[in-house]
Amino acid sequence: MLFNQTLTYISLFSGAGVGCYGLLEEGFECVATNEILEKRLNIQRINRKCKFDESYISGDIKKPETKEKILKQIGFYSKKFGNDRVDLVIATPPCQGMSVANHKKKNDEIKRNSLVIESVDLIKQIKPRFFILENVPSFYKTGCIDKNDNLLEIGSMIEQNLSGDYMLYDEVINFKNFGANSSRTRTLVIGVCKEFKDFISALEFFPDFKQEKTLKEVIGSLKPLAWGEYDSTDFYHSFRTYPKHMQEWIKDLKEGQSAFENTELNKKPHRIVGNKIVLNVSDYGVPQNRERAFIVGASRFSFDFNLLEPSQSVNIQDAISDLAYLCSNEGAFESDYLNPIQSSYQALMRKDSPKLYNHQATNHSQAALEKLKLINKEKGKECLPKNLHGKQQFKSTWGALKLEQNQPHHRHTL
């Protein structure tokens, strides 16, 4: 923070600087921005993202000289403007979403993921009050090679290097539920310096949950365009030019309709083969016969679990009663089962797996622990004063487990 109370930040892998727009809107000042491609930094310069040209740092973050330039700029801000400490570091390093199990096939991409390690290394040197990492949904389980040439999951690497100084929280979210105009599922990792553990939790950094926007809400106000026309007031708003024969496919469509719904054969998407119309689609949108198995997963759905037969359903008690109770920040990636099997479901889950994996408790802030003490058995945030409800997107965030239920839950805290 500067003498005048202005908050400061550093952006790594900053691209054209689009991600910094919100920070500038909130009054943050950019101490340094790093991007390997000079042309992207030039866009940032045009938009006057930083006050000083030295803050635009072009170069490979793996090279010591690039890191030295970033650290030098921090020193400059400290000496000239009294910046006691960088408030925030944000980093979006390139990452190929791939598990450790697949590393032999894609070792070059695993090495590319090691850019994440360079980000973590800089965070350790800069020691910001807060940091945010944003990446692909599979980020935490993706493989990387650490400084000692060991292969491990990125999540484990982050925790090994930063959990001593920071409270960490990671979650996969879809930005469409936080005000974005498009669907974009990403992992967010938020770190809060433990100096502030009694005052703030990483959970409190999440914005308010918002209902996703409809297509009409996003583009409904744009000017209607003719075939091939560009909007003279908006360079990015244009009507793509298609081959002329495709005009027949779409000219009679109503809102929400597909060209494949046309009743006339010549108005359905097709190609001509030997004077015959051959449709571009077969059954499910694929132009050739292709038998495949599909596994579909969803984070939210309207399935009624009560429709299951008793023999098919498993409640929370059946699922996890054999797990040992943990306090905040207890547990390990791999451990032994301490309790015997207590249900047929647990017997199935333990089959051929003598070890217990991923039984780890969140590292809660002291403020969060005080909130949890106020919640009664099988109750939720209704037990809390309204000023402690927070801005979490799920109503069950501060909810205690209801052991006899088999309903899906986004997150349980107790």
Q: Helix, strand or coil for residue 156?
A: helix
Using CB atoms within 10 Å of the CB of residue 42, give its burial: 0 to 12 exposed, 13 to 18 middle, 19+ buried.
middle
Paired tokens of 309: 């037969």
Whether the pLDDT of residue 151 is over 90: the answer is: no
Q: What is the pLDDT, as a whole number, of residue 199? A: 87
End-to-end CA distance of the chain: 36
Is 297 inside any structural domain?
A: no
Q: Which residues are catalytic?
A: 95
Whether the pLDDT of residue 366 is over 80: the answer is: no
229 and 188 fall within a common domain: no
Q: What is the pLDDT, as a whole number, of residue 374? A: 78
How far is it, in rounded angstroms, from Cα 15 to Cα 123? 19
Does residue 171 or residue 386 have the better pLDDT?
171
Domain final residue, candidates 279, 295, 324: 279
DSSP assignments along 318-377, one per residue: HHHTTSPP--TT-EEEEEE--S---SHHHHHHHTT--EEEEEE-----HHHHHHHHTPPT
Q: What is the pLDDT, as a whole number, of residue 280? A: 77
Q: Return the CATH number at 89.
A: 3.40.50.150
The residues pairing with 359 across neighbouring beta strands, listed in sequence order, are: 332
143 and 237 fall within a common domain: no
Whether the pLDDT of residue 283 is over 50: the answer is: no
- Nearest 5 degrees, angle CA 111-CA 121-CA 174? 70
How do 230-231 and 234-238 pair as beta strands?
A: antiparallel
Q: What is the pLDDT, as a whole number, of residue 152? A: 85
195 and 254 fall within a common domain: no
260 and 351 fall within a common domain: no
Is 13 inside any structural domain?
A: yes
Tokens 């699922």 label which residue?
319
Q: Helix, strand or coil for residue 137?
A: coil
Q: Helix, strand or coil for residue 40?
A: helix
Mean pLDDT of 243-266: 87
pTM, rounded to two decimals: 0.63
63 and 169 fall within a common domain: yes
- Nearest 5 degrees, angle CA 134-CA 137-CA 140? 75
Please report which helix (H) or strand (E) contains residue 112, including its range.
helix 107-113
Paired tokens of 40: 């992207």
Task: Tell me the pLDDT band of 361, cut-offs 50, 70 and 90.
Answer: confident
Q: What is the pLDDT, as a whole number, of residue 306? A: 57
Nearest to 12 by CA among 135, 149, 129, 106: 135
* Residue 154 near residue 168, CB atoms below 8 Å: no
Q: What is the pLDDT, as a whole number, of residue 308? A: 54
Domain final residue, candidates 142, 170, 205: 205
Task: Tell me the pLDDT band of 165, cut-offs 50, 70 and 90.
Answer: very high
191 and 237 fall within a common domain: no
Is 410 inside any structural domain?
A: no
Q: What is the pLDDT, as a whole number, of residue 285? A: 46
27 and 96 fall within a common domain: yes
Mean pLDDT of 112-135: 91
How far is it, in rounded angstroms, from Cα 259 to Cα 382? 50
Q: What ranges in 144-266 are assigned the alpha helix state H?
A: 154-162, 215-219, 247-250
Q: What is the pLDDT, as a whole number, of residue 400? A: 66
Least confident of 73-82, 166-175, 272-281: 272-281
Is 257 inside any structural domain?
A: yes
Cα distances (angstroms) measured from residue 332 to each of 187, 328, 359: 21, 12, 6
Q: Return the CATH number at 321.
A: 3.90.120.10
Q: For residue range 303-315, list pLDDT tens digits in order.
A: 555 555 555 567 7
Q: What is the pLDDT, as a whole number, of residue 145? A: 80
Is 193 inside any structural domain?
A: yes
Whether the pLDDT of residue 324 is over 60: the answer is: yes
Total domains present in the chain: 3
49 and 24 fall within a common domain: yes
Is 286 inside any structural domain?
A: no
Whether the pLDDT of residue 90 is over 90: the answer is: yes
Domain that holds residue 328: 312-388
Q: What is the pLDDT, as a whole number, of residue 288? A: 43
Tokens 């249900």 label which residue?
343
Using CB atoms within 10 Å of the CB of residue 192, give its burial: 0 to 12 exposed, 13 to 18 middle, 19+ buried.
buried
Q: What is the pLDDT, as a whole number, of residue 115? A: 86
How far is it, in rounded angstroms, from Cα 278 to Cα 83? 68
Q: For residue range 47-61, list pLDDT tens digits in order.
A: 999 999 999 999 999
Domain final residue, candidates 205, 238, 266: 205
Paired tokens of 211: 């209902």
Whether the pLDDT of residue 138 is over 50: the answer is: yes
**132-143 burial by CB neighbour count: b if 16+ within 10 A, else e?**
bbbbbeebbbbb
Mean pLDDT of the chain: 81
The angle that helices 115-126 and 64-81 make with each other, rounded to 10 degrees, is: 30
Top-confidence range, 133-147, 186-200, 261-275: 186-200
Task: Tell me the pLDDT band of 294, cut-offs 50, 70 and 90.
Answer: very low
89 and 132 fall within a common domain: yes
The rounded Cα 177 to chain-centroid distance in angstroms is: 12
Q: For residue range 182-239, list pLDDT tens digits in order.
A: 899 999 999 999 999 888 888 888 778 888 999 899 999 999 998 889 999 988 899 8
Is 403 inside any structural domain?
A: no
Nearest to 146 by CA among 156, 137, 138: 156
Q: What is the pLDDT, as a whole number, of residue 35? A: 96
269 and 157 fall within a common domain: no
Q: What is the pLDDT, as a whole number, of residue 194? A: 94
* pLDDT cut 90: percent of the chain above it: 34
Whether the pLDDT of residue 287 is over 50: the answer is: no
162 and 267 fall within a common domain: no
Q: What is the pLDDT, as a whole number, of residue 403? A: 67
Using CB atoms within 10 Å of the CB of residue 50, give its burial: 0 to 12 exposed, 13 to 18 middle, 19+ buried.
buried
Paired tokens of 380: 């939720």
Mean pLDDT of 173-181: 90
Q: For residue range 375-404, list pLDDT tens digits in order.
A: 777 677 777 777 666 655 555 566 666 766
Q: What is the pLDDT, as a whole number, of residue 120? A: 95
Q: Helix, strand or coil for residue 203?
A: helix
Mean pLDDT of 122-141: 93
Is 337 inside any structural domain?
A: yes
39 and 168 fall within a common domain: yes
